[in-house]
Amino acid sequence: AEEDPWWRSAVVYQVYPQSFADADGDGIGDLRGISQHLDHLEELGVDVIWLSPIYASPGDDNGYDISDYQQIDPIYGTLDDFDQLLADIHSRGMKLVMDLVVNHTSDEHPWFVESASGPDSPKRDWYWWRAPREGFAGGEPGAEPNNWGSFFSGSAWQYDQSSGEYFLHLFSRKQPDLNWENPEVRGAVYDMMNWWLDRGVDGFRMDVVNLLSKVPSLPDGVVAPGALYGDGFPFYAQGPRIHEFLQEMHERVFGHREGAFLTVGEMPGVTVEDAQLFTDPSRREVDMVFQFEHVGLDHGPGGKWDPRSASVRDLKESFARWQDGLAEAGWNSLYWNNHDQPRVVSRFGDDGEHWRESATALATVLHLQRGTPYIYQGEEIGMTNMPFADITGFRDIESLNHYAEAVQLRGVAPDAVLAALRIMSRDNARTPFQWAAEPNAGFTTAEPWIPVNPNFDRINADAQRRDPKSVFAYYQALVALRHSERAISHGSFQLLLREHPTVFAYLRTLEARQVLVLANLVGTAATYELPEAEAWEDAEPVLGNIGANVPRVDGRLGPWEAQVFVRD
Ligand code: TEU
């Protein structure tokens, strides 16, 4: 099993519980809502469900701020509901992977409450407490222990009046960073992970797990021209002890277990070279990582709030480098979407005229690469970005903090900030799942916690599950192909037509068996010249997103057309 792990032929589906299905009529999704919709996931054919956090939480960052790792938040249900959901998932032959958020806790977690009780607290060292900068009085501007900015705008430091010290928070001020240098912290986390595995879960998606090890002196970062804060990234991403920590975690949690588990580390800023180390099975760290390169290609010089368009060439070039980089040892995870990213059909596709074709073409080029594909809820029915009218539609702390900082502190015109939010905000992915052409898209009978996308009458699961030409039916075919075709789950990857400006083409090879993937990722027709085209004359067409019959390999692709062929 070590040499041929089960997840090579698996597809993972991410559920964002808050927005999936509301069973108890309070406007917020919940565990029973998920249980009631498992048919949808079983029909899609996915093997694993990854659940975004459902633990007790004040909800400052939609559950990524956890106040009790071993309780279910009441808005989602109870531990009994959880056990029932896990049993339902297992009885359908699927697995459940939990979100592990241990770079930080909530400031309302008992660990932090204890730590904040004073400098003599036995848990003081569980978090990063530091005195004000020398020569400054605590709380005054510039007194922060270093110049790092938070991912959610503002300083990464929060002043604590009672002790006169600051604590570090790379994300919201309600998400203090745990001090992984402290072995008690690590032990407490491993105990908690073991508790969930003993309960029957099948693995973990590990939130920002490449940020766990900080350079303990926490040096100032370089301040880019025009930036308000220094860049701490070099001092906390892939920090000095990160590999040691992940190896220790693997040993203490999975070392003595038999079974089929999955671990995936979410790692913003990770390079291919880093990922080789993190995912080489002989190093016993994680099975695969979420890298961010392809979802950064449309960030301008000012970062994610300065969006530009990414070229097809940049996209395929980036994917191909990751495919090549992890070809020998290690493994890729493949994703377009999650709860932090805008919807792919709006981002890299065309959510107007070519909505169906672009959603399916983008799915094709992603799913048939070497790696484990992840589908984010709603992606399988081609859900789009939200037409936010104004700032009142947004709920996400990152979006709201950015808006406040840009408008109030930097004096940017509100319309300009809104324009970027409409393109990039995480809330684009967090609108309720569109189940049916019913009030609130069938998500809830109450007022939903975030508005439903008005296009639910046109884009919904109910209509698509009955339509063999739907985006949903196409995703079913892609999932089935990964299960049935070993050249896709196990074959090598070779990029073709590297210089072509719009066609993403590649070959997957396992011994004599070859799969050819072709997709034109723009809204105008394209021609191409395939090397050794004769060899494909009698190839078997296995999938296509235009028309009923996939044509031969003929050097032409229509707007957003995707074709897949197999030969022996
Ligand atoms: O995200 C980490 C991350 O680096 C980014 O994707 C982040 O969400 C932001 O968009 C940076 O611009 C993880 C979770 O997926 C995210 O939902 C949490 O907010 C974050 O960690 C903190 O736990």
Q: Can you tell me the mean pLDDT for 467-472?
A: 97
The pLDDT tens digits for 233-243 are: 999 999 999 99
Crossing angle (nearest 10°) for helices 183-199 and 242-249: 40
Whole-angstrom distance, CA of residue 330 vs CA of residue 279: 4
Give the pLDDT confidence score for residue 2 in this predicted structure.
55
DSSP E strands in 28-135: the ranges are 48-51, 55-56, 68-72, 95-100, 129-130
Task: Please say whether the beta carbons of 414 and 400 come within 8 A.
Answer: no
**Cβ contact 263:203 at 8 Å:** yes
Q: Tens digits of per-residue pLDDT, 142-197?
A: 999 999 999 999 999 999 999 999 999 999 999 999 999 999 999 999 999 999 99
Backbone angles phi, psi at 66, to 5 degrees: -100, 130
**Residue 393 C-alpha from the chain's centroid:** 22
Q: Whose CA is nearest to atom 4 of ligand 1?
A: 268
Please report the beta strands in 308-451, taking only residues with DSSP state E, as ranges in sequence order: 333-334, 372-376
**Quick one: pLDDT at residue 552?**
84
- The 10 Å Cβ neighbour count of residue 190 is 17
pLDDT tier at 286, thresholds 50, 70, 90: very high
Q: Which of 96-110, 328-342, 464-478, 530-544 has the lowest mean pLDDT?
A: 530-544
Q: Where are the alpha helices (DSSP H) in 103-182?
A: 110-115
Residue burial 364-398, b: 16+ Cβ < 10 Å; e: rest: bbbbbbbbbbbbbbbbbbbbbbbebeeeebbbbbb
Return mean pLDDT, the chain: 97
Ligand 1 atom closest to residue 104's alpha carbon, by position in its atom list: 23
Provide the residue type at 426 as one letter. R
Whether the per-residue pLDDT at 550 is higher than 90: the answer is no
| pLDDT of 376 higher than 90 | yes
| Mean pLDDT, range 532-560, rounded to an integer | 87
Pocket flag, ligand 1, residue 207 (CB < 6 Å): yes
Residue 548 above 70 pLDDT? no
Query: 427 CB less than 6 Å from ligand 1?
Result: no
Catalytic residue among 99, 177, 266, 379: 266
Q: Alpha-carbon distance 412 to 398, whole Å? A: 17
Q: Cα(223)–Cα(236) distance, rounded to whole angstroms?
A: 16
Q: What is the complex's ipTM, to 2 decimals?
A: 0.97
**Which of these, 442, 450, 564, 561, lies nearest to 33 by C-alpha position?**
442
Higher-pLDDT residue of 82, 554: 82
Asked whether the beta carbons of 425 and 178 are under 8 A apart, the reply is no
| 312-325 helix and 272-279 helix, angle to the nearest 10 degrees | 40
Q: What pLDDT is stored for residue 533 in this prediction?
A: 87
DSSP 441: G
Residue 556 pLDDT > 50: yes
> Is 427 an active-site residue?
no
What's the pLDDT score for residue 71?
Answer: 98
Please tell me the predicted confidence (pLDDT) of residue 3: 76
What the chain holds in terms of domains, given with CATH numbers, is 6-54+74-105+204-212+262-472 (3.20.20.80), 489-567 (2.60.40.1180)
Catalytic residue list contains 134 = no
Q: Ligand 1 within 6 A of 233 CB? A: no
pLDDT value of residue 549: 62
What is d(CA 402, CA 398) in angstroms, rounded to the nearest whole number? 6
**Tell me: the pLDDT tens digits for 407-457?**
999 999 999 999 999 999 999 999 999 999 999 999 999 999 999 999 999
- Token readout for 306 is 């300065």
CB 18 within 8 A of CB 66: no
pTM over 0.90: yes
pLDDT on residue 1: 43
Q: How far is the CA of 479 from the centre of ligand 1 (A)?
A: 27
Nearest-5° angle of CA 435, CA 440, CA 444? 80
CB 365 within 8 A of CB 406: no
Task: Answer whether 321's CB lies under 8 Å from 275's CB.
Answer: no
- Rounded CA-CA distance 564/519 in Å is 9
For residue 171 the two structure tokens come to: 């994300």
Give 282's pLDDT tier (boundaries 50, 70, 90): very high
Let me know if 140 is exposed, middle or buried by CB neighbors in 10 A (0-12, 13-18, 19+). exposed
Cα 340 to ligand 1 centre (Å):
6
C-beta 152 within 6 A of ligand 1: no
Using a 6 Å cutoff on CB, does residue 398 contact ligand 1? yes
